[in-house]
């Protein structure tokens, strides 16, 4: 092993967003781009705490285009920067929740997860990278801010040549096993261990859920379909549903991962998971249960027979029924939801007499609450739910949780929701995304809304009156850190809300998200389509924001 220091020029655009650094593949392919960012991460860690002896790095990605090249580079940089060992997922693949589990199970120093999640892949698509801490969760803002600062002034990075033979320069990441490299100059050793991340993860799921009840359900004529969207969860779904729960192979679709996700958009929602949606909304022919997950396996969409469960409701249902699951049979400590997520979970928490925390968008804000034992379940409206079994959102976990509930209750998905709404009332909810808008136009929409902060309160819009509006700030109750500008909230006197946010995960132009919520206590209106029930709120949102006038867009790109 031979360590080299390579001079480099900083890039000025390496600011991590909601979930790591995401850019076009072409940007990541620029000389030194990935290296600079990885070195900035390592420099931040070395400065903060230094590397303990035997420090291990977990490494894997969602298998998208450029994953393999990036993994080779990162292994060489980890060796040069003093890591003793890298645990890499076979073929370079680890779902995001599996990576979180690996970090926790093997007590690694941290992990690098290579993913742009639900963003499109392939040579023209996106790539991404994110650092997770030793608790298995995404690095908090104070770390990502330091990484960005370092990336702006970086002058060199360290990289090791692990083999003298140029033809063998690539490390075999496809064969399970251990390779040891000697550093003659320091006398130290560097180990690359290729692991099967699927088994470890499946074992964890089997510990949490009642697999025998789910197996019985699946053998009883109950028909399910899981859509892997050509992304990372395919092998996990095969192991869990087919091998361990004896579901027929035909209950899986798009479960062979591909570097460009079959040319699709690996985002499990009603727009992009259209193959599954067709099957689940086929009238009488529709199956009992459908689910999909995203590029890196941390999101989930839950469908019943001709029925869509909003992620906000899903979190509330999981919280209300947690004791049906062996892992949570003694109850949950608390729940947390991101600010734009509906207040459905709050109603459950109130009834269970447990706390409900409201955090900014992004999973990194849940870590402290989970580490402190304040919450067990967390969720976001963006198809993310999970618990403290890991420190990431977890798509297959949510699917198994739902199957566990259905197996125990013996009712349909729709019946579960109708009963839930009858008990708690319904927080009617929808999100409208306007994607790829010129940045200036998007900013002008936000500025226009903010300019009305003083004039909006007490204003009447049809049946609704504005109570307050603000730009959401979060004060972390555990470490006291403050995160400002986390989304504009317009709160109405009856508890309805409109939230506006700019996405922090896109790579082209800007995306404006409008989150709409109205509370409906009356059971006779619970069957209504959300778009119908929210029609007036939608009009108000467009009138306050002047979005159509300022962007020239007449309709959202995606409605969830
Ligand atoms: C989106 C979602 C957010 C989620 C993030 C990462 O962020 O809104 O809730 O945590 O994606 O999800 P934004 O800033 O674009 O709204 V994933 O599945 O990319 O790791
Ligand atoms: Co994801």
301-344 tens-digit pLDDT: 999 999 999 999 999 999 999 999 999 999 999 999 999 999 99
pLDDT bucket at 164, cuts 50 / 70 / 90:
low
Catalytic positions, written as ranges = 117
User: Could you count the other beta carbons within 10 Å of the beta carbon of residue 528?
Assistant: 13
Average pLDDT over residues 188-197: 92
Atom 19 of ligand 1 has which residue's CA nearest to it?
A: 117
pLDDT greater than 80 at residue 165: no
Closest ligand to 338 CA? 1
User: Could you count the other beta carbons within 10 Å of the beta carbon of residue 181?
Assistant: 17
In which residue are the tokens 């936000």 written? Answer: 446
Both tokens assigned to 233:
């969860």
3-state class (DSSP) for residue 430: strand
pLDDT in tens, 360-387: 999 999 999 999 999 999 999 999 999 9
Q: What is the phi/psi pair of residue 227, to 5°?
A: -105, 110
Query: How confident is the model at residue 161, as a pLDDT?
Result: 86
**Which atom of ligand 1 is the closest one to the Cα of 296?**
18
Average pLDDT over residues 209-221: 97
CA of 300 to the centre of ligand 2 (A): 9
Q: Which fold has domain 426-559?
A: TATA-Binding Protein (3.30.310)
Atom 18 of ligand 1 has which residue's CA nearest to it?
A: 117
Atom 13 of ligand 1 has which residue's CA nearest to it?
A: 503
Query: How confident is the model at residue 451, as a pLDDT?
Result: 95
pLDDT in tens, 439-478: 999 999 999 999 999 999 999 999 899 999 999 999 999 9
- Distance, in Å, from the CA atom of 506 to the CA atom of 497, rounded to the nearest integer, reads 25
Q: For a pLDDT cut of 90, what percent of the chain falls above it?
A: 88
pTM of the model: 0.94
**Which atom of ligand 1 is the closest one to the Cα of 116?**
19
Query: How confident is the model at residue 197, as a pLDDT?
Result: 87
**Which atom of ligand 1 is the closest one to the Cα of 501?**
16
Query: Which has the closest alpha carbon to 116: 508, 509, 506?
Result: 506
CA of 525 to the centre of ligand 1 (A): 31
Binding-site residues, ligand 1, Cβ < 6 A = 18-19, 117-118, 294, 298-299, 338, 361-363, 380, 382, 384, 503-505, 513
**Which atom of ligand 1 is the closest one to the Cα of 381?**
9
Beta strands in 438-486 (DSSP E): 460-461, 464-471, 474-475, 482-483
> Domain spans of the chain?
2-195, 199-424, 426-559
Average pLDDT over residues 185-190: 84
199-424 and 2-195 share a CATH fold:
yes
Q: Domain 2-195 class?
A: alpha beta
Query: Cα 285 to the chain's mean position, in Å?
Result: 32
Pair 331, 352: CB distance under 8 Å: yes
Pocket perturbation via mutation, ligand 1, pick of 15, 17, 19 by most ligand atoms within 8 A of CB: 19
- Distance, in Å, from the CA atom of 46 to the CA atom of 478, rounded to the nearest integer, reads 24
**Which atom of ligand 1 is the closest one to the Cα of 295?**
18
CA of 295 to the centre of ligand 2 (A): 6
**Beta strands 85-93 and 189-195: pairing type?**
parallel
CA of 213 to the centre of ligand 1 (A): 33
User: Could you count the other beta carbons within 10 Å of the beta carbon of residue 250?
Assistant: 9
Burial 351-381 (b: 16+ CB within 10 A, else e): ebebbbbbbbbbbbbbbbbbbeebbbbbbbb
Residue 519 CB partners (closer than 8 Å, separation 6+): 343, 425, 426, 427, 428, 494, 495, 496
Query: How confident is the model at residue 404, as a pLDDT?
Result: 98
Query: How confident is the model at residue 524, as a pLDDT?
Result: 87
Lowest-confidence range among 321-330, 466-475, 484-493, 523-532? 523-532
The strand pairing partners of 384, in sequence order, are 380
Atom 11 of ligand 1 has which residue's CA nearest to it?
A: 505
C-alpha separations of 265 from 20, 46, 294, 479 in Å = 19, 37, 9, 37
CA of 471 to the centre of ligand 2 (A): 26
Closest ligand to 128 CA? 1
- Alpha-carbon Rg for the chain, nearest whole angstrom, is 23
- Distance, in Å, from the CA atom of 162 to the CA atom of 23, rounded to the nearest integer, reads 28
pLDDT greater than 90 at residue 1: no
pLDDT, averaged across the chain: 94
CA of 116 to the centre of ligand 1 (A): 10
Atom 16 of ligand 1 has which residue's CA nearest to it?
A: 503
CA of 506 to the centre of ligand 2 (A): 13
- Distance, in Å, from the CA atom of 290 to the CA atom of 272, rounded to the nearest integer, reads 14
Atom 10 of ligand 1 has which residue's CA nearest to it?
A: 362
Looking at domain 199-424, its CATH architecture is 3-Layer(aba) Sandwich (3.40)
pLDDT in tens, 62-121: 999 999 999 999 999 999 999 999 999 999 999 999 999 999 999 999 999 999 999 999
Lowest-confidence range among 94-108, 176-190, 212-226, 463-477? 176-190
Atom 3 of ligand 1 has which residue's CA nearest to it?
A: 362
Please tell me which residue, 165 or 65, carries the higher pLDDT value.
65
Closest ligand to 294 CA? 2
């Amino acid at each position: 092993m031979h360590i080299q220091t390579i001079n480099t020029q900083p890039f000025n655009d390496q600011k991590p967003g909601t979930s790591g650094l995401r850019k076009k593949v072409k940007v990541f392919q620029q000389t030194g781009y990935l290296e600079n960012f990885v070195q900035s991460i390592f420099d931040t860690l070395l400065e903060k705490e230094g590397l303990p002896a035997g420090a291990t790095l977990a490494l894997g990605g969602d298998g998208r285009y450029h994953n393999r090249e990036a993994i080779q580079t990162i292994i060489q940089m980890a060796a040069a920067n003093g890591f003793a060992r890298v645990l890499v997922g076979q073929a370079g693949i680890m779902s995001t929740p599996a990576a979180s589990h690996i970090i926790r199970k093997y007590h690694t120093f941290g992990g690098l997860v290579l993913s742009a999640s639900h963003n499109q892949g392939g040579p023209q698509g996106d790539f991404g990278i994110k650092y997770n801490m030793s608790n298995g969760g995404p690095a908090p803002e104070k770390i990502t801010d330091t990484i960005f600062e370092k990336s702006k002034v970086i002058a060199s990075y360290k990289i090791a040549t692990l083999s003298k033979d140029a033809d063998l320069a690539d490390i075999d990441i496809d064969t399970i096993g251990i390779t040891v490299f000697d550093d003659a100059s320091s006398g130290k050793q560097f180990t690359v261990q290729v692991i099967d991340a699927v088994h470890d993860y499946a074992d964890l799921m089997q510990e949490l859920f009642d697999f025998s009840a789910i197996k019985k359900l699946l053998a009883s004529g109950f028909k399910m379909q899981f859509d892997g969207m050509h992304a990372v969860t395919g092998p996990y779904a095969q192991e869990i549903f087919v091998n361990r729960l004896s579901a027929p192979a035909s209950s899986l679709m798009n479960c062979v991962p591909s570097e460009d996700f079959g040319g699709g958009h690996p985002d499990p929602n009603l727009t992009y998971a259209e193959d599954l949606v067709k099957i689940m909304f086929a009238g009488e022919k529709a199956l009992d249960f459908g689910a999909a997950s995203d590029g890196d396996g941390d999101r989930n969409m839950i469908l019943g027979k001709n029925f869509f469960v909003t992620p906000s409701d899903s979190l509330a249902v999981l919280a209300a029924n947690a004791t049906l699951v062996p892992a949570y049979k003694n109850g949950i400590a608390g729940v947390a939801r991101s600010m734009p997520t509906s207040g459905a979970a709050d109603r459950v928490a109130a009834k269970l007499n447990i706390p409900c925390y409201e955090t900014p968008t992004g999973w990194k804000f849940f870590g402290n609450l989970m580490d402190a034992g304040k919450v067990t379940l967390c969720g976001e409206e963006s198809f993310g739910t999970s618990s403290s079994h890991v420190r990431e959102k977890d798509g297959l976990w949510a699917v198994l949780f739902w199957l566990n509930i259905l197996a125990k209750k013996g009712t349909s998905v729709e019946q579960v929701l109708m009963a839930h709404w009858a008990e708690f009332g319904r927080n009617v909810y929808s999100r409208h995304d306007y994607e790829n808008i010129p940045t200036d136009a998007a900013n002008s929409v936000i500025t226009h809304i903010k300019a009305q902060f003083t004039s909006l309160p007490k204003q009447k819009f049809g049946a609704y009156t504005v109570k307050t509006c603000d730009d959401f700030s979060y004060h972390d109750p555990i470490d006291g850190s403050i995160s400002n500008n986390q989304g504009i909230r317009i709160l109405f006197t009856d508890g309805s809300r409109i939230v506006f946010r700019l996405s922090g995960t896109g790579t082209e132009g800007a995306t404006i998200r409008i989150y709409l919520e109205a509370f409906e206590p009356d059971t006779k209106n619970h069957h209504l389509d959300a778009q119908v029930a929210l029609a007036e709120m939608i009009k108000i949102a467009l009138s306050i924001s002047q979005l159509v006038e300022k962007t020239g867009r007449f309709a959202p790109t995606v409605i969830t």
